[in-house]
Amino acid sequence: MPSVTWGVVQGKKEKLVNRVKICDYLKSLGIIPDELENLELPSTIEVMEERVMFLQKLGLTIDDINEYPLMLGCSMRKNMIPVFSYLEKIGIAKSKLGEFVKKYPQVLHASVVVELMPVVKFLRGLDVEKEDIGYVLMKYPELLGFKLEGTMSTSVAYLVSIGVSPRDIGPMVTQYPYFLGMRVGTMIKPLVDYLVSLGLPIKILARMLEKRVYILGYDLEETVKPNVDCLISFGIRREKLASVIAQYPQIIGLPLKAKMSSQLYFFNLKLKIDPDEFAQVVEKMPQVVSLNQHVIMKSVEFLLGRGIPSGDLAKMVVQCPQLIACRVELMKNSFYFFKSEMGRPIKELIEFPEYFTYSLESRIKPRYQRLQSKGIRCSMNWFLNCSDQRFEERLLGNYIESESSGPSFCIGGKLVLPGSEVVSDEEDESDDEVLYKRTVSL
């Protein structure tokens, strides 16, 4: 309960008279004192006036006080000043104290030693940086009212149990502290179980949460499930759902139907890409649902202006959707090198649009120059679509190996890499070496 201001012992009648005066004073300010009926008030109007002025100096308005009038029962000396001093000490700027109280006025009733300090100590124990404590509490001040042995501890324990690295919990709290207030049984676990049921491996899901813990805030019934149904309705294959979510976790929290409808119409109108082809594009690069159409048109217009027929351009985009997200300035440099230095026909670009996704200075130029020095003539796919080590191996070989596709993703299976047949049975079956789904760049 809030502390009270102790003054001269008053008689019952005098107390009642002063209470009426204080209530009249509050009413004159526009404050509704009804909720203060069972609360012991200060002995004089002057003390109440001091409290009101103090709160107003912090930036609180009469409306703010009316939202939680019980704050007027807090003593300045025993409640307000100690609490505000501690909040400043842990990193909340003085100019933000009013905003903090608006968000969580119950903090004024808290004991610094018994309630506030243990929570801050708990956050530090999760590896939240000292300088981030104020930032975390400004985002989610209700943390100061949680019991340490309750929701906060269980949510952290559950996430660690599914594979989230303990050392990542601190950064996760800094990014999205709200998960500490989520109940495992009703919020976190149902979402995790649903995503796993779609084919998303628990290991990959744990890595996703480490980087984008805010997906725990997506409502399972209202947002996530409808978005998954939306993807299926637009032609995304069920076996590709896990891959799509792993590549772009935010997709399960977007206003997806409106975005996909808009993009499908745009792709059909501008690129002559039909619904089935659009589904293929989303499967390969789900970020396309959020890509600005103006950005898309820049790369499209650039390629059309270089003599690529619109029909071939559509095929290029379906094969390599990343093409429409490339910066035109870089595409210009790569195209100039392709025409002036490599002297290859446009047909090769149409067959291998991934050319534009590689760095000109760090991959295309140096590798092409190596080929020239050795007098090797080969496809762009052969010398660009491989690691530096594999490229060196190819240069040392006395033959040009056959073209091979990139990694393939199969639901419930391992990551299949070209050349994987040379891996021994022992290595192939090692649990530590098994890679589910596809490599995810988070």
385-411 pLDDT per residue, tens: 999 999 988 888 744 555 555 444 333
Mean pLDDT of the region 238-265: 96
pLDDT at 386: 92
Confidence of residue 412 (pLDDT cuts 50, 70, 90): very low
Give yes or no for residue 208 having a pLDDT over 80: yes
Is pLDDT at 179 greater than 90 in this prediction?
A: yes
Please give the helix or strand (H or E) that residue 225 lies within, else none.
Answer: helix 225-233
What pLDDT is stored for residue 403 in this prediction? Answer: 55
- Please, what is the average pLDDT of the chain? 86
pLDDT exceeds 90 at position 123: yes
Contact 124, 148 (CB under 8 A): no
User: Kindly report the CA angle at 352 between 259 and 383, in degrees rounded to 5?
Assistant: 130
- Residue 161 CA to residue 164 CA, distance in Å, equals 7
299 pLDDT exceeds 70? yes
Look at residue 206 and tell me whether its pLDDT is greater than 70.
Answer: yes
Residues facing 222 on adjacent strands: none
pLDDT tens, 414-423? 333 333 333 3
CA–CA separation, 411 and 294 (whole Å): 34
CA angle 157, 243, 295 (to 5 degrees): 110
Non-local CB neighbours of 297 within 8 Å, separated by 6+ positions: 270
Report the pLDDT value the prediction gives residue 395, as an integer from 0 to 100: 87
pLDDT given at position 19? 79
- Domains within the chain, CATH numbers bracketed: 292-398 (1.25.70.10)
* pLDDT for position 222: 96
- Measured between its terminal Cα atoms, the distance across the chain in Å is 47
Q: Look at residue 427 in the predicted model and tell me its pLDDT.
A: 36
Beta bridge partners of 408: 416
Residue 313 scores a pLDDT above 90: yes
Per-residue pLDDT, 400: 54
Higher pLDDT, 22 or 345: 345
